[in-house]
Structure 1
Amino acid sequence: MARQILHHRFLQTFLHRRPISTTAAAAGNPLQNSTTTIPPSPHTPNPTTRTPLAKQFETCLQNLKPGFTQYDVVEALRSQPDPDLAFDIFRWTGQQRNYKHSSTTYLTILQITINNKRYQHSETLIEEILAGACTGTVPLYNSVIKFCCGRKVLFNRAFDVYKTMLNSEDAKPDLETYKLLLDSLLRRFNNVNVCFVYLRGVKSMWKQMKAAGVVPDTFVMNMVMKAHAKCGEVDQAVRVFNEMGLYRNEANLYSYCYLIHGLCEKGRVDEGLGFYKEMRGKELVPKGSSFMILICSLAMEGRFDEAIKVVYDMLGESMSPDLLTYKTVVEGLCREGKVDEAFDVVEEFRKKDSFMNEKTYKVLLNGLRYVN
């Protein structure tokens, strides 16, 4: 029996790209009437020369019965271990009559290309989605935003998708959307000179989120607090902290650490110490950096008893201050004329700090002699 052939026009579009496309042209078209035969093309390769990929492609198409649905295509894509072959199947099915890809099939192939690092295919699919190739849904748009946020060159594209969602009737941004975008903005707060620019975006999204009735969780509120604290707007950070109860969210150690950092950097040490005591009352353990900024801030204000108490608290949690923190406390005592007390404190630190090495101990002693 003469072999039936696939849709030649489609196969020619990726003939130059993959070896399978040359051999797939010789495969049978499962959607064609089985009683109709077509004479073999003079350019059709010998069946014995088909590659394993061509056989996989042919087998997958044979499993797609005439009148296949989006569900059948999704199953075919997920069962295909070769991402390039899955992409070819996606393209081939999309060109068949009486069939159109849905948001589910686009989401499936997008996840396949991203997970297998076929980023060029991913970007092409994203442009098609935004152009209206399928009806957009929240899971699909969120997957697009997540991919764009992970690539610097597509950072602005993520916010284009967000605007599309805002203008949509059935795919409005949800909590996951705001988490992805806020996290992407916060990653750019490392540079102090530009953090104020991105803070505007955080404020705008925070307002839009509340106006849309999306209930924030602790993670989102922590990111908003962190953005304000990083830019020195600690009053706004405290205001967000106080709103946690309205949304039935419980502050965690990150909530307190962001406030302690922001308040201490602004010189509002009393308030920072107050939040520190509050979190310790809840049996929350601050991060090491929060311990140290509070210790240094107290020592620089001459409140050595409180600073030393926080040092002991830190050591009790099996964390060790760095050399700069130790020097801030010890040399501060010396400048206040409390040299003997400073020597005693160094010895006490050495006994309680199992992580203090001999080099750190000698540096502290030499510093004391120099200051004295």
Structure 2
Amino acid sequence: MYHRRLAANYSFICASSISKCGNLFVHLHSHYHSICCFQVQFHNLTKSLQVSTKEGFKVYRKCFMPVSFYSSTATRRLMGPPTRSLRRRMRKRALAASKPVLDESRVQKAMEKLPPRFTPEDLYNVMSVEEDPLVCLELFNWASTQHRFRHDVLTYHVTIKRLGAASMYKEMDDIVNQVLSVPYIGSEALFNTMIHYFIKAKKLIRAVNIFKHMQNSMKMDCRPSIITYNILFSGLLTVGRNTYISYMYMEAARNLFKQMINDGIEPDVFSLNYMIKGYVLSLHVNDALRIFHQMGAVYKCHPNSFSYDYLIHGLCAQGRTKNAQELCDEMKMKGFTPSSKSYNSLVNAFALGGEVENAVEYLWEMNENQRTVDFITYRTVVDEICRQQSVQDAVCFLKELQEKNLVGGYSYKRLVYELEDSKY
């Protein structure tokens, strides 16, 4: 692409320097879009002009500018995919075009509902039934300019909730700064809402700063509670899906858990499940088992189905199928049903470990409990049946799956194709 543009610029300079060949250059310009024959035309042009290459490139260096004889659409077609800066500009334009417009009539109707000397409670009652975040923000800003009016926790809270739910994080950040600048304004629910939406906006540092502000607050009703810690645990463990990222943030979650215990806040089943999940994601399954066994003995709360599901998945990922099977049996004895993720992990772990019979047994159990089996699980079981038994047994297994309507037509065809292409 670059050489073609260079050739076009060079031909333009050469043709402009020799007036006798102007007609030939115009002819080439009109047929420029015939990309396939461009090089031949350019070769004939330079040969007929008999211009020195050295002199021509001297002129080219002095007069170089990105001259293009084709349209911008053709340019984008020839240049390939758009650059990152172009995609960023296109995204900004799309956001600007899709940005909602303030409805002045709705603002006027909302203002008419307020009494002449309205209180923060009156403003809250109007804003709480208003669904448009722009109208709520306009009401908030308009009320701030009224004489002898001061916002309270309710008006700040409903405004932040409306802006955060609409993903208007820049406007929400401005309101949050107003709250933090007033020492006597604040509540635990208000600060928890701020932390929740900052985590949703992937502004984890901002959420931690709000948490520190809560810790340093002189008002006891603004101090962090178990709900605050659970929101932070959720944010730390959903930053990334990579194991290394989970390992990095799990250290911060572990320190936060220690701080919660030191502050005298007893963890509940949700915070303990967050710790189990974090240890499993960071491949620290033994630490997850330690938290699991401490749930009833130390923290006086019993595990639920999520506690077992996280551990079964983590144990299967490390090939510890025996421990995972014991937990699954214990889970079913307590009346819980394993999730699809736990069943798929068990079936894959048993199949990869060479225990095809156990894998097939859990597969039928999944069907009885109406749990979804993914395609990778089916393929793993079929491959292991081919490896340990025979292709004929795998074909019989596929037919049995089809007769029980466990696989659709598309998945069945894919499994058959995989079976035909296998080395067995």
- Choose which of 351, 358, 367 in structure 2 pairs with 1:315: 367
Distance 2:403 2:346 in 1: 22
Letter in 2 for 1:299: A
Q: Which residue of 1 aligns with 2:416?
A: 362
Distance 2:308 2:102 in 1: 58
Greater per-residue helix proportion: 2
1:190 aligns with 2:241: yes
Q: Which residue of 2 aligns with 1:132?
A: 182
Q: Which residue of 1 aligns with 2:141?
A: 88
Q: Which residue of 2 aligns with 1:276?
A: 328
Q: Which residue of 2 aligns with 1:332?
A: 384
Where in structure 2 are the equivalents of 1:161-176 lying within 5 Å?
161-169=210-218, 170=220, 171-176=222-227
Q: What is the Cα-based RMSD across aligned positions, in Å?
A: 3.1
Q: Which residue of 2 aligns with 1:150?
A: 200
Contact conserved, 2:110 with 2:126, CA < 8 A, in 1? Answer: no
TM-score by length of 1: 0.74
Letter in 2 for 1:182: F
Distance 2:130 2:357 in 1: 67
Contact conserved, 1:300 with 1:328, CA < 8 A, in 2? Answer: yes
Letter in 2 for 1:301: G
Q: Which residue of 1 aligns with 2:5?
A: none
Q: Which residue of 2 aligns with 1:236?
A: 287
Q: Give the C-alpha shift of residue 292 in structure 1.
A: 1.9
Aligned CA distance change for structure 1 residues 267 and 301 (closer, same or farther; 3 Å): same
Contact conserved, 1:225 with 1:238, CA < 8 A, in 2? Answer: yes
Q: Give the C-alpha shift of residue 310 in structure 1.
A: 0.8
Contact conserved, 2:339 with 2:371, CA < 8 A, in 1? Answer: no
Distance 1:77 1:56 in 2: 12
Contact conserved, 1:300 with 1:332, CA < 8 A, in 2? Answer: yes
Q: Deviations over 1:129-151 (max 9, x none)?
A: 22235432211111111121111
Distance 1:267 1:19 in 2: 57
Does 156-165 or 323-332 show the bigger shift? 323-332
Q: Give the C-alpha shift of residue 259 in structure 1.
A: 0.6
Letter in 1 for 2:248: V
Aligned CA distance change for structure 1 residues 19 and 150 (closer, same or farther; 3 Å): closer
Aligned CA distance change for structure 1 residues 80 and 133 (closer, same or farther; 3 Å): farther
Q: Which residue of 2 aligns with 1:43?
A: none
TM-score by length of 2: 0.65
Q: Give the C-alpha shift of residue 72 in structure 1.
A: 4.2
Where in structure 2 are the equivalents of 1:55-70 lying within 5 Å?
59=112, 63-65=115-117, 69-70=119-120
Q: Give the C-alpha shift of residue 161 in structure 1.
A: 0.5
Distance 2:127 2:372 in 1: 53
Aligned CA distance change for structure 1 residues 350 and 140 (closer, same or farther; 3 Å): same
Distance 1:352 1:57 in 2: 60
Contact conserved, 1:224 with 1:240, CA < 8 A, in 2? Answer: yes
Q: Which residue of 1 aligns with 2:254?
A: 203
Contact conserved, 1:175 with 1:216, CA < 8 A, in 2? Answer: yes
Contact conserved, 2:379 with 2:415, CA < 8 A, in 1? Answer: no
Q: More relative contact order in 1 or in 2 (CA 8 Å, sep 6+)? A: 1
Q: Deviations over 1:39-59 (max 9, x none)?
A: xxxxxxxxxxxx867865874
* Gaps in structure 2 of 5+ consecutive residues: 1-100
Q: Give the C-alpha shift of residue 314 in structure 1.
A: 1.4
SS at structure 2 position matched to 1:243: helix
- The share of aligned pairs that are identical, in percent, is 26
Q: Give the C-alpha shift of residue 341 in structure 1.
A: 4.7
Where in structure 2 are the equivalents of 1:17-166 lying within 5 Å?
59=112, 63-65=115-117, 69-75=119-125, 77-78=127-128, 82-93=135-146, 96-97=147-148, 100-115=150-165, 118-132=168-182, 134-152=184-202, 154-166=203-215
Q: Deviations over 1:220-251 (max 9, x none)?
A: 22221111001110011112222332444343
Q: Deviations over 1:323-365 (max 9, x none)?
A: 4323323332333355665454444334334324341452365
Larger Cα Rg: Structure 1 or Structure 2? Answer: 2
Contact conserved, 2:226 with 2:267, CA < 8 A, in 1? Answer: yes
Does 127-136 or 109-118 show the bigger shift? 109-118
Q: Which residue of 2 aligns with 1:14?
A: none
Letter in 2 for 1:88: N
